[in-house]
């Protein structure tokens, strides 16, 4: 077993992760995740297993008839690969903190026959993307790691670059008065968060199709924001 794989089981890793997600150090965590997770140094799988929630995300994006989609926090491109297969005519852009993950994402989009746009390093709250340059901005399992102030800034950035809609998949609980850390991840009160970021926006909430863990079954939500 290689050292990075051993470090994945290091007892202090969970404590470090929790601390990183509660602070601005979350950016550091994702930028250097490849040091403890060997998958970012491996070639993408020949066949991607499609989780039901990826199909769900596409079902919510498709009605907007996009010609371009930007995924914020695209990681190693599992969502982009699905979009490439579903809509090879759609330009696929991505932003992620980890350059090794972006390299794998490029391979996946090309292998799936998609229209590869620009995949570049950057953070959700300071997107290196031109204003009104994409039709739909997507984020999957990113906001659960963002403190409220960063989440609000990220929503504003997604609104800045997208012309038709924002689709976000994360943890949400509308019974909360505000955002809270639950079991080491941020759970947001999405209507309040969105109202602060994008006044007068319209929101529709959908239970997540991702049910592989109790946390996702309880808090998993996809919310679609239009204006």
| Same domain (yes/no): 35, 139 | no
The pLDDT value recorded for residue 26 is 57
Query: What is the domain extent for residue 15?
Result: 3-41
Handedness of CA 53, 143, 95, 160 (dihedral sign): positive
Percent of the chain with pLDDT over 90: 68
Residue 185 lies in a domain: yes
The pLDDT value recorded for residue 184 is 79
Q: How many CB atoms lie within 10 A of CB 56?
A: 18
Cβ proximity of 90 and 116 under 8 Å? no
| Same domain (yes/no): 71, 107 | yes
Residue 107 lies in a domain: yes
| Same domain (yes/no): 95, 170 | yes
* Residue 41 pLDDT > 90: no
Residue 47 lies in a domain: no
CATH number at residue 209: 3.40.50.150
| Same domain (yes/no): 70, 128 | yes
The size of the chain, in residues, is: 227
Question: How many structural domains are present in the chain?
Answer: 2
Beta strands in the chain (DSSP E): 68-72, 91-96, 115-121, 134-140, 162-171, 180-182, 185-187, 202-207, 220-226
Percent of the chain with pLDDT over 70: 78
CB proximity list for 15: less than 8 A, separation 6 or greater: none
Cβ proximity of 103 and 41 under 8 Å? no
Residue 94 lies in a domain: yes
Q: What is the pLDDT of residues 153-170, one digit of tens each?
A: 999 999 999 999 999 999
| Same domain (yes/no): 105, 164 | yes
| Same domain (yes/no): 95, 58 | yes
The pLDDT value recorded for residue 199 is 95
| Same domain (yes/no): 116, 135 | yes
84 vs 79: CA distance, rounded Å: 9
Q: What is the pLDDT of residues 46-79, one digit of tens each?
A: 555 678 999 999 999 999 999 999 999 999 899 9
Q: What is the pLDDT of residues 109-151, one digit of tens each?
A: 999 999 999 999 999 999 999 999 999 999 999 999 899 999 9
23 vs 163: CA distance, rounded Å: 31
């Amino acid at each position: 077993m290689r050292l990075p794989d051993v470090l994945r089981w290091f007892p202090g890793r969970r404590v470090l992760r929790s601390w990183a997600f509660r602070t601005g150090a979350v950016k550091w965590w994702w930028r250097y995740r490849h040091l403890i997770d060997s998958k970012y140094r491996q070639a993408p799988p020949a066949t991607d297993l499609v989780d039901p929630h990826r199909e769900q995300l596409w079902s919510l994006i498709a009605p907007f008839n996009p010609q371009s989609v930007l995924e914020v926090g695209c990681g190693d491109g599992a969502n982009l690969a699905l979009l490439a297969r579903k809509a090879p005519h759609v330009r696929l852009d991505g932003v992620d903190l980890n350059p090794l993950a972006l390299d794998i994402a490029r391979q996946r989009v090309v292998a799936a026959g998609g229209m590869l746009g620009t995949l570049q390093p950057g953070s959700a709250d300071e997107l290196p993307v031109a204003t009104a340059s994409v039709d739909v901005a997507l984020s999957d399992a990113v906001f659960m790691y963002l403190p409220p102030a960063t989440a609000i800034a990220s929503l504003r950035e997604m609104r800045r670059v997208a012309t038709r809609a924002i689709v976000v998949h994360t943890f949400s609980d509308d019974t909360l008065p505000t955002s809270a850390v639950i079991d080491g991840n941020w759970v947001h009160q999405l209507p309040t968060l969105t109202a602060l970021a994008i006044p007068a926006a319209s929101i529709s909430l959908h239970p997540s199709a991702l049910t592989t863990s109790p946390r996702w079954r309880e808090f998993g939500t996809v919310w679609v924001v239009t204006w």
